[in-house]
Amino acid sequence: MTSASGAGAAGLDALQVQGKRVLMRVDFNVPMDTSGAITDDTRIRAALPTIREVLAKGARVVVLMSHLGRPKGVDEKLRLAPVAERLSKHLERSVIALKESTGEAVEAAVAQARAGSVVLLENVRFNAGEQKADPALSAAYARLGDVFVNDAFGTSHRAECSVSEVAKLLPSVAGRLLQAEIEAFARVLTQPKRPLVAILGGAKVSDKLLVIDTLLERCDTLLVGGGMAYTFLKAMGQGIGKSLCEDERMEVVKAALAKAKARKVELLLPIDHVVADRFAADAAVKTVAAIPDGWMALDIGPHTRQLFAERVAGAQTIVWNGPMGVFEMPAFCEGTKAVGKAVAAARGYTVVGGGDSVAAIEQLGLSAKVKHVSTGGGASLELLEGKALPGITALSLRR
């Protein structure tokens, strides 16, 4: 396992929790509607196995920390009470929801909680020092636990008090969710079964420059779709009409094309396109091999879908990050659907990361057929970039 994916990070099997206060960072940053009702509790359900295991192993109390939204100070609409209510239903036990996350009252509530209790602290981002890695705040969190478990992959790329800093102050390990993420990306990044096919999409090359560079060191085939493909095509001298293009990234893209050639990596770009006369759901649409002037490509065409699906079918390891087009609009979703179906049908080991890719695979009802669907958009992208994640490298118990 590479350092980028958390080499040596120990899991729950290495941690003695009997009779101890277990402080746990979870990712309960769930979507809510305007009334404050939770619309998708996937992230809450994802944390249940670790919480249940710790309780079953005899933890005296489990103290949960999470953020919700991006508050600047206390925001009544972003309190965690609805999360506590939903969590209690899943756990089939009462969850103690506190209105603060630090202080004497919080410490007293944890100390007085009955054995086997679950306590949810208030939104950690109500604290000004949370995202500044404030030492005093980190120490205040640490006073609430005897050991620390990080099970929040989605925030593990951030050096924050409740993620990386408290991990340095207590014996700390990865929870089951985080451990699964580490192991999944390790299977892609270190000694993958070959051929390794990487699929990248999304709007901008600039968002994925480091990912492209890292994957060109590791993969056998790189499939590029989405808006980012058109900067590549222009760099190769093809006409792209009004398609999205980052002209300021042209030299970097040319360097990537040269690197792929030098390393004998097959880099495939769209060979046909679904184009529109304007960026709108009701735009005029047609499928073309060459993009006409005045038109913009908003999805990969049927021949490209078939080509990409063939490469995916022949792969032993597949990683996908980013949609193939503007899949939110019905006229431009077929490319992303085709790739999603190909990934789900593949015999190889499959990893899907990135918010839009995960949303697409879930909308298709195919997430159960993918070997690993990542819970962290930014975190999964940084792992693919080869970066070390602070929330993983800070864990103090090693294998």
Known catalytic residue: 201?
Answer: no
Residues 6+ apart with CB under 8 A from 252: 205, 209
Known catalytic residue: 355?
Answer: yes
User: Burial, 294: exposed, middle or buried (Cβ in 10 Å; 0-12, 13-18, 19+)?
Assistant: exposed
From 57, 143, 314, 378, the catalytic residue: 378
What are the tokens at 168?
């340095």
What are the tokens at 384?
């693919």
From 20, 21, 43, 218, the catalytic residue: 43
Orientation of helix 250-262 relative to helix 209-218, angle to 10°: 10
Known catalytic residue: 378?
Answer: yes
* Beta strands in 138-282, from DSSP E residues, in sequence order: 147-150, 172-174, 196-200, 221-224, 266-268, 273-276
Going from the C-alpha of 317 to that of each of 187, 309, 320, the distances in angstroms are 8, 14, 10
From 204, 234, 369, 387, the catalytic residue: 204
Residue 77 is which amino acid?
A: K
**Sign of the C-alpha dihedral computed for residues 133, 17, 171 and 174 taken in this order:** negative
From 355, 376, 377, 386, the catalytic residue: 355
Catalytic positions:
43, 204, 355, 378
